[in-house]
Amino acid sequence: MTDAIQVERERGLLTLRLNRPDKKNALTRAMYSRLAEALKQADSDPEINAVLITGSAECFTAGNDIADFVQQPPSDLDSPVFHFMLNLLECRKPVIAAVAGAAVGIGTTLLLHCDLVYVSRDARLRMPFVNLGLCPEFGSSLILPRLLGQAKAAELLLLGEGFNGEQAAAWGIATQALPSGEAAFAKAREMALRFDKLPPEAVRISKQLMKAPDRDLLRKVVEEEGKLFVQRLRSPEAIAALMGFINRG
C-alpha cells in the first residue's frame, strides 16, 4: 500500500490519482501494484461504473521510476508493471484519463488503452524508449503505426520526439485537448460520471466489442515487447542511458 496512489470514490466513479510530486509522479513497483489491484477491484465491484486515472494539474507522470529500473528491474512478465498493464488491458469498465504536464513513457502508452483521454493543450507527451536504450512497450509498437502511419509513429517511437496535448487530440491519441490541467480534469470527471447514468451491461458489452478484434493480438504484442524490454534493461546501452539520468548534474 502506498499513498503515492490516492484512491477516491465518488458515486460510481473510482479515481486513481498519481501522487508523488517530488519525483514527478514517477511510477515505482509499489505504485504499479496498487494501480493493478485497484483496477481489478473496480472491475469486479458492481457499484463502480468507471475508473479515472489522473495525476496533478502540473504533472501526469514521468513514467517508470528510473532508479527502480536500475535497482529492481522487472525480470519477467510476473512483475508489478505487467500486472498493471494486463489489468488495464482487461478492465471491462470504461477507463478515463485526465492528463496535464509531463506524460512520459508509460505515461503516454497507458493512454492508448484508456477509453476516453482528456489532456491539457500544453501537456508534454513523449516515449523516449530508444533514447534510453529500451524498446517500445504496452502495445505501442502495434497501436501507434496503425493510428498514425509508420512515418509519424517512427518519429515518436524511434526518435523519441515529444508532442503536446493539442497534437495528441489531433492524432486520435486523446479525445479532446482543453485549455488547462484543471479543465482537463473537470471534463474527464464530468464524462466519467456520465457512466452512472448509462446501463452498465450495455456499456460493458459495447467496450468488449470495441476491444475484441485486437484483444489476442494486443496481448501477444504486449508480452513480446515486455520480454524484449526486460532484456534491454540489462543491456549496456540502457544501463549507460539510465545511469546518465541518475547521475545528471
Sketch the per residue contact string, 49 through 68, with ligand COA: x for CB under 6 A, - otherwise: -------------xxxxxx-
* Stretch binding ligand COA (CB under 6 A), from 22-30, 34-42, 75-83, 90-98: 22-30
- Report the C-alpha dihedral over residues 171, 114, 95, 20, rounded to 10 degrees: -100
**Under rule CB under 6 A, residue 232 binds ligand COA:** no
Print burial letters for 131-145: b (CB count within 10 Å at least 16), e (below 16). ebbbbbbbbbbbbbb
Q: How far is the CB of 209 from ligand COA (least distance, A)?
A: 32
Q: Find the largest Cα–Cα distance for the chain.
A: 54
Instruction: DSSP for 162-226, please give it.
Output: -EEHHHHHHTTSSSEEESSHHHHHHHHHHHHHGGGGS-HHHHHHHHHHHHGGGHHHHHHHHHHHH
How many of the chain's residues bind ligand COA (CB under 6 A)?
Answer: 15
- The total number of residues shown for the chain amounts to 249
**Residue choice 17, 24, 83, 93 for contact with ligand COA (CB under 6 A):** 24
**Under rule CB under 6 A, residue 111 binds ligand COA:** no
Q: How far is the CB of 65 from ligand COA (least distance, A)?
A: 4
Q: How far is the CB of 240 from ligand COA (least distance, A)?
A: 14
Using CB under 6 A as the binding rule, the residues of this chain from 120 to 159 that contact ligand COA are 128-129, 132
**Under rule CB under 6 A, residue 238 binds ligand COA:** no
Cell numbers at 34, concatenated: 496498487
Cell numbers at 72, concatenated: 529492481
**Residue choice 14, 18, 26, 116 for contact with ligand COA (CB under 6 A):** 26
Cα–Cα distance, 188 to 183 (Å, whole number): 8
Closest-approach residue to ligand COA (CB): 105
Summarize as ranges the residues that interact with ligand COA (CB under 6 A): 23-24, 26, 62-67, 102, 104-105, 128-129, 132
